[in-house]
Amino acid sequence: MKRNSDLRKLVALEYGGHSAPIVSIKAEGETAEYIVQEARRLGVFVAKDRHLLSLLSELPIESEIPEQLYRAVAVILSWAYWLKGMRPGDEKG
């Protein structure tokens, strides 16, 4: 398997049911690559942003993202919703 340095680290966020997105998964190496492959297979949006990844990877799992990252994460979430033809709140129905 060809190694892609962009897939060697990941931070997954969870938003539904929380006041702000939380860090739900952090992984590196082959585990990160496997999670990304499975996410793509399942149709989960995978964003690549090295700077945001660096900031999010400093947070502990289950912690809310800080306010200074709201805008960057909102852009990614809006793309994820748009790609699925959804709007925030649709996942509750």
Residue 86: both structure tokens together: 């959804």
Q: pLDDT at position 1, please?
A: 38
Model confidence at 37: pLDDT above 70: yes
Model confidence at 89: pLDDT above 70: no
Q: Which has more confidence, 40 or 90?
A: 40
* Helix boundaries (H) for the chain: 29-41, 50-56, 70-83
Phi, psi of 19 (to 5 degrees): -70, -25
Question: What tens digit of pLDDT does each residue of 16-25 get?
Answer: 778 899 999 9
Phi, psi of 42 (to 5 degrees): -90, 0
**3-state DSSP call for residue 19?**
coil
Domain ranges of the chain: 5-92
- pTM reported for the whole predicted model: 0.76
Query: What's the chain's average pLDDT?
Result: 85
Q: What percent of the chain has pLDDT over 90?
A: 56
Q: pLDDT at position 25, please?
A: 95
For the domain spanning 5-92, the CATH number is 3.40.1690.10
